[in-house]
Chains A and B, each alone.
Chain A
Amino acid sequence: MATNVATSDGGERKALDSVVIRFAGDSGDGMQLTGTQFTQSTALMGNDLATFPDFPAEIRAPAGTTFGVSAFQINFASYDIQTPGDDPDVLVAMNPAALKVHLKDVPKGGTVILNTDAFSDRNIARAGYEENPLEDGTLDNYIVIAIEINKLTNAAVEDCDVTSKEATRCKNFWALGLMCWMYNRDRQPTVDWVNQRFAKLPNIAAANIAALNAGHAYGETVELPSGAEAYVVPRADVQPGTYRAVTGTEAVAWGLVAGARKANLNLFLGSYPITPASALLHTLTNLKHYGVTTFQAEDEIAAVCSAIGAAYTGALGVTSSSGPGIALKTEAIGLALVTELPLVVVNVQRGGPSTGLPTKTEQSDLFQAVYGRNADTPLPVVASRTAGDCFETAIEAVRIATKYMTPVILLTDGFLANSAEPWEIPDADAIPDFPVEFRTDPEGFHPYLRDETTLARNWAVPGTPGLMHRIGGIEKDYDSGHISYDSDNHHRMTKVRAAKIDGIANDIPEQDVAIGDTTGKLAVLGWGSTFGAVNQAVGRCVKEGLSVSHIHLRHIHPFPLNLGELLSGFDKVMVPEMNNGQLVHLIRDKFLVDAESITQITGQPFKVSTLEREIRSRVEG
């Protein structure tokens, strides 16, 4: 698969289809930044890519410890890829702790780039090594590029007006420079970014750029150990269009803004800081000029309540959090449900229960989304599958919330929120409008008058003359909207609330099959961010002629109308989830199919190889 190609710099490079690089270092070493910059260059060079930032919960864990290691993995290729890659081909380890944590993932024969200056006796001991791993044979089966990165960085920035501490801090840019050389990445986007970021500190900007260039020059001039060479990864053959790199957080924010515009409403976000959802608050507060008001509330409860209060006055109410915060919002979500106000609840799921693994990803809030409230409280649940898909699902959540006058739960997760992918930017004008019509006619009005088709109640907002009315958490009379303790009425209202949500199934697309036939031996049924891994695993098997198909849900409540029938066309149904088995129960409950659960609760996304193995064991032989 590797051929040598001549490059514009006159050298010869080996062509690769795909590479997985993992940058790892201390949380203070700037690995996320290095990864992000490498991603930008890679995106601009036309490769397909997927990333996986993996950082510790501690902001600045003690230097040199294994629990303070922060990593960023990127998979880029000349073809269509969907996951950040299973195992890294190249590990850049900025200290012994990073080596200790990540070497086990590098297959034998892989490349390890090390900053030897960080391998002091103290750091080696801190990382938990008894001997120096550079000398005791630990690295025997790898291609090792050991470099005194601190020293070389310090020399490179000598002429810049920086302290020695500031000089050493540029070492991540030195490493980035070397990787840019090794994989033929353009440095200019990083230079531009540095100049912009440090516009007020020109000496720091100059030092970072000097380090970047020095790392690049090092690659050009120094002879690398055998096995290590310069590569080129040709651009991917992607659909023509305009692209950008996007994270799930950005895509949710833009999707909510787009949805609000399509509904012709202002957007009000009530939120409270929580990992990994806070970035959504940060992103939306910078979109004020698009009619967005953000409110950092005193707690999770006030966050959702403020959004409900805003919705009551005619805004699109949005609240965002992660599992533990959603738990606190539960009672208020019930209020929005019973008062039938439009509200989008974004849950950026993380490892749980309780505080759990706040910076790691998980899909374990599905039960919470579908069932997690007191009383009979059905709600629409929509799940995003990729960073780019977050844009579409956010718009869909807004559409359902406003059309059906209901809270909608939008499930993303920490992996989607933080990981980046190239995204073909859609034409926003081509997305249909769904403008809200407020009730203004007093004739025959009461607050619980329903649309015959959608069963949504009419929305009359304070300030409208002649439509003064009272709503609240106490059960209301079906025919007048007044308080009612009547038992038959409560039965009827409970039924109509459920029928309204069930009816949404008529207004969503039928379930499609992502890869494979519509019938066969095995259906792999997924939801959320496992999409990439499942799709790639099933894709490989289908290519070999195995009878397996990938079905991926966007609408989890209600399910698409044809889902039961579709699943019945397969001998077996396998449900991989990053939880202890949740969707599998919904499926078994709803369709009485003998679905099998594949679980992984490690805080890490599925590996393609893991899923492939599971599939093969069910359809081969």
Chain B
Amino acid sequence: MNVETPVEALKPNDYASDQEVRWCPGCGDYAIIKGVHRTLAEMQIPLEKLVFFSGIGCAARFPYYMASYGFHTIHGRAPALATGAKLANPDLDIWIVMGDGDALSIGGNHTMHAIRRNVDLNMLLFNNEIYGLTKGQYSPTSQLGTRSPSTPQGSVDAPLTPLSVALGAGGRFVARTFDTNQKHMPGVLKAAHAHKGASFVEIIQNCIVYNDGVFDGWTDKKVVSDNSITVEHGKPLIFGAEDNKGIARSDDGFGIQVVTIGESGVTEADILVHDEKNKILAMMLADMKQPDFPVALGVLYNNPATAYDASVHEQLAAVKENTPAGTLNEMLRKGRTWTVSEGA
């Protein structure tokens, strides 16, 4: 089972463990792991430096299929374990694989705090809008009206938008891609890896068994160009099969709207240019939903700040420099002591 680090370049397959993959045939997770293997090989990350943490759920089996170090933990808690690991050994290259129930329901608190602290972690949220492993209950990202074993009449509670949550928690890197979008995924993952701090990537994933096709309205090849937009820093927010649609400021100036170039006097100059450091824009892009808007893909926000683990280690180093560690006996004798001598 243990893959020696080869001297020659690592190939995508070198990142795969020898364990039989047990996701349902046709599950979006297969495509994602393929994309991850490929990206890691492109970056040539040494296997021994690489650690995958996960919680519980279908997605959480991910570490077992990786040839790196891996820790399959408990439901929702992967970000907390990964935070401890990163603080204890900042040299490690740590990735977290989470599901929507895992990251946003039972583990919502840890997800929020890992993001707000800006721990240098690559957090991948596999969002299939359903609980797969427990057999199909609706999740905190399920669309209103989702019929499931626990909501036979349809769900009545509003779903979360993961990227809005991440931005709201102070996320400095927020991106979205989807399982079968193999051309797009490596670029997003590489950008996430390059970002020092918490990088939050939502990967839309189709659960073929319990929620098949919920994303087809914008991920299907036939509609993806018209119903999604791939954003790139410095490029105008243009999309559509004919590249004639775009995102412009709304008429009242406070929001955004979809416009068609050449219609109602709209020109390319009216189209907003993506600025990955503009948080207000990122929040509007993250919240774009079908059918009124295309779903935004790519790096919506990337505005680095000092990572938490770096700050912690800076403090540790400063203390160690100012107060060199003494012996244990010195520690025990610091402060007021008194000596009782023989015959006193």
The interface of chain A, by Cβ under 8 A from chain B, is: 40, 43-44, 46, 189, 235, 238-245, 254, 257-258, 261, 266, 268, 270, 287-291, 293, 295, 297-299, 301-302, 305-315, 317, 331-332, 335, 339, 425-429, 442, 445-446, 461-474, 480-483
Contacts and interface: CB of A to CB of B under 8 A. Distances in A.
A44 B68 CA distance: 58
Nearest to B322: A289
Contacts of A427: 329
Does more than half of chain B's interface fall in helix, strand or loop, or is it mixed? mixed
B316 interface: yes
B80 interface: yes
Interface in B305-344: 312, 315-316, 319-320, 323-329, 331-333, 335-342, 344
A254 B81 contact: no
Nearest to A257: B331
Contacts of A299: 109
Contacts of A307: 84
A309 B84 contact: yes
Contacts, number: 221
B72 A469 contact: no
A576 B146 CA distance: 58
A244 B333 contact: yes
Of A46, A291, A299, A310, chain B has the most CB atoms within 10 Å of the CB of: A310
Q: Sorted from nearest, which 6 A-B pairs have the closest CB atoms? A: A472-B72, A309-B84, A306-B84, A428-B328, A309-B81, A305-B80
A242 B337 contact: yes
Interface stretch (B85-93, B220-228, B236-244, B250-258): B85-93
A302 B83 contact: yes
B208 interface: no
Contacts of A472: 54, 63-64, 70-73
Interface string B46-60: 111101011010000
A312 B323 contact: no
Contacts of B72: 470-474
B87 A306 contact: yes
Interface residues of B, number: 67
B30 interface: no
A446 B81 CA distance: 22
20 contacts: A240-B339, A240-B342, A242-B340, A254-B328, A254-B332, A268-B88, A288-B315, A293-B87, A301-B80, A302-B77, A305-B74, A305-B77, A308-B84, A309-B88, A428-B328, A446-B2, A463-B48, A464-B48, A468-B47, A474-B72
Interface in B76-109: 77, 80-89, 91-92, 109
A240 B341 contact: yes
Interface in B263-293: none
Nearest to A335: B74
B233 interface: no
Contact of B80 (A241, A245, A306, A483): A306
Contacts of A241: 339-340
B155 interface: no
A288 B329 contact: no
Contacts of A473: 56, 72-74
A430 to B, nearest CB: 10
Contacts of B344: 46, 235, 240
A74 B332 CA distance: 23
B323 A289 contact: yes
B83 A242 contact: no
A244 B74 CA distance: 44
Nearest to A291: B325
Contacts of A446: 1-2
A332 B81 CA distance: 10
B170 to A, nearest CB: 13
Contacts of B333: 242, 244, 425
Contacts of B77: 301-302, 305, 332
Most buried by B among A298, A302, A309, A313: A309
Nearest to B319: A288
A470 B332 CA distance: 40
B81 A482 contact: no
Given A335-B73, A470-B71, A287 B80 contact: no
Contacts of A293: 87-88, 312, 316
B158 interface: no
A428 B327 contact: yes
Contacts of A308: 73, 81, 84
Nearest to A253: B331
B184 interface: no
Given A332-B74, A464-B48, A242 B87 contact: no
Given A244-B337, A312-B71, A268 B48 contact: no
Chain B CB within 10 A, most for which of A301, A310, A312, A315: A312
A469 B69 contact: yes
Given A235-B344, A254-B331, A462-B69, A469 B89 contact: no
B332 to A, nearest CB: 5
The prevalent SS among residues of A at the interface is: mixed
Contact of A466 (B2, B53, B112): B2
A298 B315 contact: no
B71 A268 contact: no
Given A244-B336, A268-B87, 5 more contacts: A317-B84, A427-B329, A462-B49, A463-B48, A471-B70
Contact of B335 (A244, A445, A474): A244
Contacts of A428: 327-329, 331-332
B300 interface: no
A298 B335 CA distance: 33
B83 A483 contact: no
A313 B88 contact: yes
Contacts of B47: 468
Given A425-B332, A465-B5, A466-B4, A298 B109 contact: yes
B19 interface: yes
B156 interface: no
Q: Which of B66, B71, B84, B319 has the most CB of A within 10 A?
A: B84
Nearest to A266: B88
Contact of B331 (A290, A298, A315, A464): A290
A253 B81 CA distance: 23
Contact of B69 (A295, A315, A470): A470
Given A289-B319, A306-B83, A331-B74, A470 B63 contact: yes
B3 interface: yes
Contacts of A480: 1
B32 interface: no
B338 A46 contact: yes
Contacts of A466: 2, 4-5, 48
A340 to B, nearest CB: 13
The interface centre, meaning the residue of A312, A462, A465, A483 with most chain B CB atoms within 10 A of its CB, is A462
B340 A469 contact: no
A461 B77 CA distance: 20
Nearest to B333: A425
B5 to A, nearest CB: 5
Contacts of B182: none
B67 interface: yes
Contacts of B92: 313, 462-463
Contacts of A261: 328
B17 interface: yes
B34 interface: no
Contact of B336 (A44, A239, A291, A314): A44
B320 A289 contact: yes
A416 B316 CA distance: 30
B105 to A, nearest CB: 14
B110 interface: yes
Nearest to B60: A472
Contacts of B91: 463
A307 B68 CA distance: 21
Contact of A245 (B1, B73, B326, B336): B336
A472 B312 CA distance: 28
A472 B64 CA distance: 9
Among A289, A315, A464, max chain B CB count under 10 A is at A289
A469 B68 CA distance: 7
